Amino acid sequence: MSDYLPPLRDMDFLFNEVFDIPAVWSRIPALAEHIDADTAKAILEQAGKVIAQVVAPLNRSGDEQGCRWDAGRVITPEGFTQAYRTYAEDGWVGVTGEVAYGGMGMPKVIGAQVEEMLNAANLSFGLYPMLTAGACLSLLNHASEALKAQYLPAMYEGRWAGSMCLTEPHAGTDLGLIRTRAEAQADGSYRVSGTKIFITGGEQDLSENIIHLVLAKLPDAPAGAKGISLFLVPKIMVNDDGSLAQANAVSCGSIEHKMGIKASATCVMNFDGATGYLVGDLNKGLNAMFTMMNYERLGVGIQGLALGERSYQNAIEYARERLQSRAPTGPVAAAQAADPIIVHPDVRRMLLTMKTLNEGGRAFSTYVALQLDLAKYSEDADERRSAQAQVALLTPVAKAFMTDMGLETTVHGQQVFGGHGYIREWGQEQLIRDCRITQIYEGTNGIQAMDLVGRKVLGDGGQAYAALSAQIKAFAQSLAPSRAEFATPLLAAVDNLDQLTAWVLDRAQGNPREIGAAAVEYLHVFGYTLYAYLWAQMADVAVAHTDDSFYASKLGTARFYFARLLPRIHSLSASVRAGSDSLFLLDAEQL
């Protein structure tokens, strides 16, 4: 596997030329006092340096060693504890954390770039601080002032980690079925009892303490999801002065043996009358937990992008060096026995597909992160509402589309390597195994697609979608006539998505099966159309600087996207319009 190179130049391009993010920061007082273009560049350069030099070298060894479970203890692979200590001491666990509790106070758009670099370097390692950051976000937004003051500073420091405990052996997507119970105590705490599975970082040897956020029900709680509450359950109890006390009644029963992310501890956690503290209101636990889950869903989408970027970096280096056959037009490296495989059209197709999806995905994740910042920090109420609506609409697309494209990109990278991509020493097969989970956890991509169609598009009668569609059309129509090669197909793609959205809205009124039947293909049409919007913005900047190699590459990649990838929307749209009938032609016994 090649050394990981943080894509800082591309991040700088998006920040300063495509979205002009420093100008956004300058007009929002809460951000202007913390961040500007120079600060952002310095932060990302330093994060990239630590990640590339300290974290990335542990990726393959961590996969080979995996985590070990020993009588309730989890031992992470060699080097992880030292690397985690370095990462935490530099402040990166709390990069977007609130300054009042010891965080760095950076906006999400900075955090998203750090997440991409960390996950590209080592996804298993990246999951530990990711879960902590998500837990901190839920506590920040829903916990009492006393809990925030007691727990957030040590979590932002990375001395204490966080976990999210939702799933049970019988309850995954349908959380209303959970059986974990909480009983109120005289001192205001709760005794939490039950078993949770698939708990990332539920036990590890990286931090002094682990702060579990646990969904549970009181004995008299309403049935179903309306009766779920959220509790903070520390692995080790905490004294009033912040020092650690005795162990809580929390234990790790085992860890899972997985296809990928083997250096990330995926635990079975047992709560045996453990002491916990209510976060938020009783029976409103899902509201508090979804604050964390929505954060994680963009983060998981970024994981797909990150693994695709690592795959591309490996593949492009290999394709430039691997000699095999001659170019169709005749020898290119005449002094050598064969030409490098990058001369072959099919290899070019795979490499350009990878490059295009990665750079489009980076623009998408940056755009969504920017909307999160506007929703949180903007002093303009209309801008906040618009950003909140876009975040709600785009989060399922970010999670599902970027991870679906991430898997495609890791597979392309393996294919470029040929047989060498199938064996362990080159690192490509690990990227595929690691990437596969991103389409499953934090809500499977099928669930994300149904959320997009059923809740986000149908839920408000298409209003949020209509606003985004109008925004894209306005941009396309504002482009100069010389940009018609991008504006014309972008407008056509949006018109197609408009019509498809109206078709799904109409059909869903009379047939409840239509949403599930259309959802995945509809989300992909949505994703490709969004990428066209973002690629048109990038091309609009690049076309004025084609004497520079970076911009010429960006422009050529944009043209590849519009020529070879955007047309995928036509077959996907045809699948959507085929409806649900063909899915139910066979009885269950005939399948």
pLDDT digits (tens, 9 = 90+) for 175-231: 778 999 999 999 999 999 999 999 999 999 999 999 999 999 999 999 888 999 999
Three-state secondary structure string covering 395-438: HHHHHHHHHHHHHHHHHHHHHHHHHHHHCHHHCHHHHHHHHHHH
Query: Which helix (H) or strand (E) is 107 found in, with range?
Result: none
Residue 580 to residue 503: CA distance in whole angstroms: 13
Three-state SS across 154-187? Answer: HHHHCCEEEEEECCECCECCCHHHCCCEEEECCC
Confidence (pLDDT) at 1: 66
CA 134 to chain centre: 12
CA gap 542, 553 in Å, rounded: 9
Q: What number is the average pLDDT over the span 476-500?
A: 98
For the chain, first and last CA: distance in Å?
42
Mean pLDDT of 370-392: 96
Domain assignment present for 473: yes
- Flag whether 97 is in a domain: no
Q: Residue 296: what pLDDT?
A: 77
In a domain, residue 490? The reply is yes
Contact 41, 21 (CB under 8 A): no
Report residue 293's pLDDT band, with 50, 70 and 90 as the boundaries: confident
User: 315 vs 1, 17, 187, 236, CA distance in Å?
Assistant: 9, 28, 59, 45
541 lies in which domain range? 457-584
Q: Is the pLDDT of residue 2 over 90?
A: no
pLDDT of residue 172: 67
Residues 216-248 pLDDT 10s: 999 999 988 899 999 999 999 999 999 999 999
395-419 mean pLDDT:
98
Q: Is a pLDDT exceeding 80 seen at residue 413?
A: yes
Task: Say if residues 7 and 362 touch (Cβ distance below 8 Å).
Answer: yes
- The active-site residue, picked from 296, 442, 514, 521, is 442
* Residue 396 forms part of a structural domain: no
Examine the pLDDT at 151 and tell me if it is beyond 70. yes
Percentage of the chain beyond pLDDT 90 is: 93
Global pTM reads 0.97
What tens digit of pLDDT does each residue of 429-460 get? 999 999 999 999 999 999 999 999 999 999 89
Question: Tens of pLDDT along 48-89?
Answer: 999 999 999 999 999 999 999 999 999 999 999 999 999 999
403-414: average pLDDT: 98
Question: What pLDDT, on a 0 to 100 scale, did the predictor assign at position 200?
Answer: 97
> Could you tell me if 503 and 471 are in contact, meaning their C-beta atoms sit under 8 angstroms apart?
no
Q: Each residue of 457-487: pLDDT tens digit?
A: 998 989 999 999 999 999 999 999 999 999 9
The amino acid sitting at 60 is R
Confidence at residue 177, expressed as pLDDT on a 0 to 100 scale: 83
- Interatomic CA distance for residues 215 and 389, integer angstroms: 27
pLDDT tens, residue by residue, 24-58:
999 999 999 889 999 999 999 999 999 999 999 99
Higher pLDDT, 512 or 247: 247
Q: Which range among 51-60, 239-248, 295-304, 534-543 shows the weakest confidence by mean pLDDT?
A: 295-304
Q: Percent of the chain scored above 70 by pLDDT?
A: 99
Q: Total domain count for the chain?
A: 1
- Tell me, yes or no, whether 357 lies in a domain: no
Q: What is the pLDDT of residue 175?
A: 73
Task: Pick the closest to residue 133 from 154, 151, 117, 156 (CA basis).
Answer: 156
566 occurs within a structural domain: yes
Average pLDDT value for residue range 273-296: 87
At residue 494, the pLDDT reads 98
Say if 536 falls within a structural domain. Answer: yes
Q: Give the residue, 294 or 23, on which the prediction is more confident.
A: 23
Look up 256 and say whether it is catalytic: no
Sequence-ordered list of residues with C-beta below 8 angstroms from that of 397, at least 6 positions apart, any chain: 448, 452, 523, 526, 527, 530
Average pLDDT, the chain: 96
Please list, residue by residue across 526-552, b when 16 or more beta carbons sit within 10 angstroms of its beta carbon and e when fewer do. bbbbbbbbbbbbbbbbbbeeeeeeebe
- Is 348 a domain residue? no
Instruction: Quickly count helices (H) and strands (E) in the chain.
Output: 19, 11
Q: Among 151-165, 250-264, 282-296, which is the least confidently predicted range?
A: 282-296
Q: Which amino acid is at 423?
A: I
